[in-house]
């Protein structure tokens, strides 16, 4: 009998919260500006390979330079609900990051496969299992595998995703989240793992 490869994670489901503001496939980095959001967290990549996003650990004391609160806000200054913020993060850091990484590696990924059992209101991460090797294989076909440019772009996306979803404090979240909102944030964490595994393939 055939043996399936070991999955990278246990699949989870999350509500589809960003239907009203979908990712527009026009580029990952300036998607927030196109949707009238401002990102307050930035990544210096100050010491390559040593410092996590938003924190410099090269000195004797940690310098937390990029973990601003709030992490995101509307450009017009209007208040927005926690659900509205999470919906934007799902569009940008889940669907947007997945689309960008797939495009960089030359893989055509059908986002429709992410909807659990055809349910248009629920997103499942099950289809992401095995994706790192599919992305690597696609990049090999395009002669991009292992190139410095591809590694740099994958690394930058992973760091940006990690920076935005990192807690501002070690024991305190920026908001009080509902269970459904936590499911969305956890699915973003899973995608971050997928991006990092893809990076390690190169």
Residue 5 tokens, joined: 């490869």
**What is the overall mean pLDDT for the chain?**
89
Instruction: Report if residue 6 sits inside a domain.
Output: no
Instruction: Report if residue 5 sits inside a domain.
Output: no
Q: List, for residues 149-170, the tens digit of each pLDDT value.
A: 999 999 999 999 999 998 766 6
Whether this model's pTM surpasses 0.85? yes
Instruction: Report if residue 52 sits inside a domain.
Output: yes
Instruction: Report if residue 62 sits inside a domain.
Output: yes
Instruction: Report if residue 7 sits inside a domain.
Output: no
Does residue 182 contact residue 13 with C-beta atoms inside 8 Å? Answer: no
Does residue 171 contact residue 77 with C-beta atoms inside 8 Å? Answer: no
Cα distance between residue 158 and residue 194, in whole Å: 9
Instruction: Report if residue 21 sits inside a domain.
Output: yes
Q: List, for residues 109-127, the tens digit of each pLDDT value.
A: 888 888 867 788 999 999 9
Domain that holds residue 190: 13-201
5: confidence class by pLDDT, cuts 50, 70, 90: low
Q: List, for residues 26-68, the tens digit of each pLDDT value.
A: 999 999 999 999 999 888 777 766 788 888 887 767 777 777 7
Half-sphere exposure of 123 (CA within 13 A, CB side): 26
Does residue 34 contact residue 26 with C-beta atoms inside 8 Å? Answer: yes
| pLDDT value at 176 more than 60 | yes
Instruction: Report if residue 196 sits inside a domain.
Output: yes
Instruction: Report if residue 8 sits inside a domain.
Output: no
Predicted pLDDT at 6? 64
Domain count across the chain = 1
């Amino acid at each position: 009998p055939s043996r399936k490869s070991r999955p990278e994670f246990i699949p989870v489901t999350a509500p589809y919260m960003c239907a009203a503001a979908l990712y527009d496939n026009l580029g990952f980095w300036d998607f927030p500006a196109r949707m009238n959001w401002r990102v307050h967290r930035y990544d210096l990549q100050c010491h390559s390979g040593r410092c996590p996003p938003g924190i410099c650990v090269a000195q004797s004391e940690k310098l937390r330079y990029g973990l601003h609160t709030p992490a995101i806000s509307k450009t017009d200054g209007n208040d927005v609900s926690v659900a509205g913020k999470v919906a934007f993060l799902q569009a940008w850091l889940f669907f947007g990051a997945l689309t960008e990484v797939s495009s960089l590696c030359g893989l055509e990924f059908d986002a429709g496969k992410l909807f659990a059992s055809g349910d248009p209101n629920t997103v499942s991460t099950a289809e992401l299992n095995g994706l790192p090797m599919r992305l690597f294989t696609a990049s090999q076909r395009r002669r991009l595998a292992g190139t410095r440019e591809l590694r740099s772009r994958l690394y930058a996306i992973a760091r940006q995703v990690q920076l935005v979803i990192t807690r501002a404090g070690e024991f305190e979240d920026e908001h009080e989240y509902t269970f459904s909102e936590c499911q969305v944030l956890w699915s973003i964490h899973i995608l971050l793992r997928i991006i990092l595994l893809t990076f390690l393939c190169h």
